[in-house]
Amino acid sequence: MNQNAQTPFEEGSVTPASGFETIEFAENPEPRCACLLVLDTSGSMQGPPIAALNLGLRSFKDELLSDPLAAKRVDVAVLTFGDSPELVADFTDAANFSPPDLRAGGLTPMGAAIWEALRRLTARKETYRTNGIAYYRPWVFLITDGEPTDDYQAAAKSVREGEERGAFSFYGVGVGEANMTKLAEIAPPNRPPVKLDGLRFRDLFVWLSKSMRTVSHSVIGQTIALDPPGWTSTQA
């Protein structure tokens, strides 16, 4: 929707479901780097894993806020899959991101979650363009401790095609008993999935925030050099 910040109640600008959502771009016109976290919250994540993941999300926000530009430029959303894919935190700049308190339960509908993630990402890019917001290549960061319980082949194909086109960068991370073989079928061949060392979610999110800071500060023609992740298990 094409809403002018100076005339918020322009005729037809207020629809039942929306109306004010684009005000965020008037407040913060910085270019955005979307980071969509796609998190497995299936029953097997219950207990220490989900607790560590929740703490990790809080560290993620804290780390992003320590960099004033990253706080404005990194656009975070969280999509979980347990019972069914659910966008528990819609895209917002890091400064306004409220880390959700995730609960574990249900199966692992990873294929459906990936579809939903890619759909949300495409819509977010469209919102940027409609509002004249410049943006960086978005990141999709998927974390799972299991294997898909639904059809994931077509979703995997979309991930690979999107990565190939440069539509986004996809990162796959396995936790605990995650089926790394299936995750490798989904992740792009040039960026195979990695295994988290134990429950080092905090280290993972500190690395992710650092990487997003690097991307959100990157300038024209710069080769983006990310730190090697220090949180992966060597037996991945």
Partner 1 sequence: MSWRFVSAIAVGTSHVRSDTPCQDRCAGSVLACPDGAQVFVCVVSDGAGSAAFAERGATLVCDRLPVLVGDALAASSDLDAVSDDDVRTWFLRLRDELRAHAGDSDADLRDFSATALLAIASDHQTLCASVGDGAVVVREAAGGPFEVALWPEGGEYANQTYFLTDDTVAERVAIRRFDGVADVIAFSDGLQQLALERSSRTAFEPFFGPLVRTVRESPASPDELARSLAAYLDSEAVNRRTDDDKALVVGCRTAAAA
Q: Which residues bind partner 1 (CB under 8 A)?
A: 4, 25, 29-31, 68-69, 131-137, 166, 215, 217-224
Of 25 and 91, nearer to partner 1 (C-beta) is 25
Of 138 and 193, nearer to partner 1 (C-beta) is 138
Alpha carbons 90 and 77: distance in angstroms, whole number: 5
Give Cα 190 to chain centroid, integer Å: 19
Alpha carbons 72 and 76: distance in angstroms, whole number: 10
Q: What is the DSSP string of 82-147?
A: SSS-EEEEEEEEGGG---------S---HHHHHHHHHHHHHHHHHHHHHTT--BPPPEEEEEESS-
Distances (CA, A) of 84 to 6, 68, 99, 116, 157: 39, 35, 19, 10, 21
Of 16 and 165, nearer to partner 1 (C-beta) is 165
Of 17 and 219, nearer to partner 1 (C-beta) is 219
Least Cβ distance, residue 36 to partner 1 (angstroms)? 16
Least Cβ distance, residue 76 to partner 1 (angstroms)? 17
Least Cβ distance, residue 125 to partner 1 (angstroms)? 8
Least Cβ distance, residue 5 to partner 1 (angstroms)? 8
Alpha carbons 164 and 159: distance in angstroms, whole number: 8
Least Cβ distance, residue 66 to partner 1 (angstroms)? 14
The first and second tokens of residue 136, run together, are 């960086």
In a 3-state reduction of DSSP, which class is residue 156? Answer: helix
Of 179 and 218, nearer to partner 1 (C-beta) is 218
